[in-house]
Amino acid sequence: MPGLDMTVQPIADTVSNKRQGDHVVELIGNTPLIDLSPLVPSPRVQLLAKAEYCNPGGSVKDRPALAMVREALDTGRLAPGGRVLDATSGNTGIAYAMLGAAMGFGVTLCLPANASPERKRLLRAYDAELILTDPLDGSDGAIREAKRLARERSELVYLDQYGNPENWRAHYETTGPEIWRQTSGQVTHFVTGLGTSGTFMGVSRYLVEQSNSIRTVSIQPDSPIHGLEGMKHMESAIVPAIYDPQQAHEDRAISTEAAYSMVKRLARDYGLLVGISAAANVSAALEVAADLDEGVVVTILCDDAMKYLSESFWEEV
């Protein structure tokens, strides 16, 4: 389809109040769209994926992490040189740890013990304090432990990514407007998975305000027991306070196997090393695209595959 602007022009960022210079904060946002339309059978349907792994922390979570830290600093909850606390499956924690190293505050993270070795090494490289929780309890166990620590350690500022409205606002104020401009307002469908739900809530709210004909599709794992790291099966999990199921025109399920297969397909056939949740998003977006006669479907490449290279599925035939 003609008229799409695959670049992003610099904009005033009300979430981050970016400063001029080479500071790491200046690199967050304004990520490119990648055209994945060759995956779609119909020539009248375009599939575009926002390459959030281009953020300096390597994931979409840089945006909300910065917004939540900024809010805590601006309101005085976080003093210069203080220490933040949160539960994470990995990417938000990496973003906090990166920002803490760059901005001069400490970071304590509750993380399931079965998080990939690469994620744990990255967090330790940034000098974050890790509290590893029972892997069988998943992200919910990390949330419960973070809440316990927040009660017991008064020096910790609990940012609570699952309940902090700055999470979805970061995407409402940056990711959504970027997608709208990059597609020249031609986006017809927005598809992404649910974890904290911040990306889906913020982007979908913004896009629907621009055009009420845009359809929003949320994605969840198809089972309570799954391998889609960072994504939540809402029926069986602690539901994030910021999540509103009414925001989605449609909710779809995706299997772990489909995501693993798509990770390898994108790497081996298209030269794109993306993470598991990113591949789940692409798989689901392809399903949406297959149902269309024409349209522009946009999804999110949450992170790249570098944090998942130790996973055994790479070796499976």
CATH code for position 191: 3.40.50.1100
Q: What is the pLDDT of residue 73?
A: 95
The count of C-alpha atoms lying within 13 angstroms of the C-alpha of 39, restricted to the half-sphere facing its C-beta, is 23
Judge if 188 and 103 occupy the same domain: no
Q: How confident is the model at residue 214 (pLDDT cuts 50, 70, 90)?
A: very high
Judge if 181 and 149 occupy the same domain: no
Tell how many helices (H) and how many strands (E) occur in the chain: 9, 10
Q: Is residue 215 part of a domain?
A: yes
* Residue showing tokens 């790479």: 314
Number of structural domains the chain divides into: 2
Give the burial string for 45-78 (b: 16+ CB within 10 Å, else e).
Answer: bbbbbbbbbbbbbbbbbbbbbbbbbbbbbeeeeb
Judge if 205 and 295 occupy the same domain: yes
Percent of the chain with pLDDT over 90: 86
Q: How confident is the model at residue 5 (pLDDT cuts 50, 70, 90)?
A: low
Judge if 189 and 265 occupy the same domain: yes
Judge if 104 and 137 occupy the same domain: yes
Judge if 214 and 153 occupy the same domain: no
Q: Is residue 70 part of a domain?
A: yes
Which residues form the domain of 52?
24-59+176-315
Active site residue 277: yes
Where does 81-237 show beta strands of DSSP type E? 83-87, 106-112, 129-133, 156-158, 189-193, 215-221
Ramachandran area for residue 127 (φ above 0: left; ψ -120 to 50: alpha; else beta): left
Percent of the chain with pLDDT over 70: 93
Of 158, 189, 222, at which residue does a domain stop? 158
Euclidean distance between CA atoms 55 and 131, whole angstroms: 25
Q: What is the phi/psi pair of residue 194, to 5°? A: -110, 125
Judge if 311 and 194 occupy the same domain: yes
* Nearest residue to 8 via CA among 47, 54, 43: 54
Active site residue 120: no
pLDDT exceeds cutoff 60 at 7: no
Q: Is residue 5 part of a domain?
A: no
Kindly report, residue by residue over 75-97, the tens digit of the pLDDT.
Answer: 999 998 999 999 998 899 999 99
Judge if 89 and 231 occupy the same domain: no
Q: What is the pLDDT of residue 89?
A: 87
pTM reported for the whole predicted model: 0.91
Judge if 154 and 222 occupy the same domain: no
pLDDT exceeds cutoff 90 at 14: no
Q: What is the phi/psi pair of residue 81, to 5°? A: 80, 5
Q: How confident is the model at residue 23 (pLDDT cuts 50, 70, 90)?
A: confident
The single residue of 61, 120, 232, 307 carrying the catalytic annotation is 61
pLDDT exceeds cutoff 60 at 261: yes
Judge if 86 and 234 occupy the same domain: no
The single residue of 116, 197, 277, 283 carrying the catalytic annotation is 277
Q: What is the mean pLDDT of the chain?
A: 92
Tell me which DSSP letter residue 174 carries.
I
Judge if 181 and 227 occupy the same domain: yes
Mean pLDDT of 54-69: 97
Kindly report, residue by residue over 30-50, the tens digit of the pLDDT.
Answer: 999 999 999 999 999 999 999
pLDDT exceeds cutoff 90 at 250: yes
pLDDT exceeds cutoff 50 at 224: yes
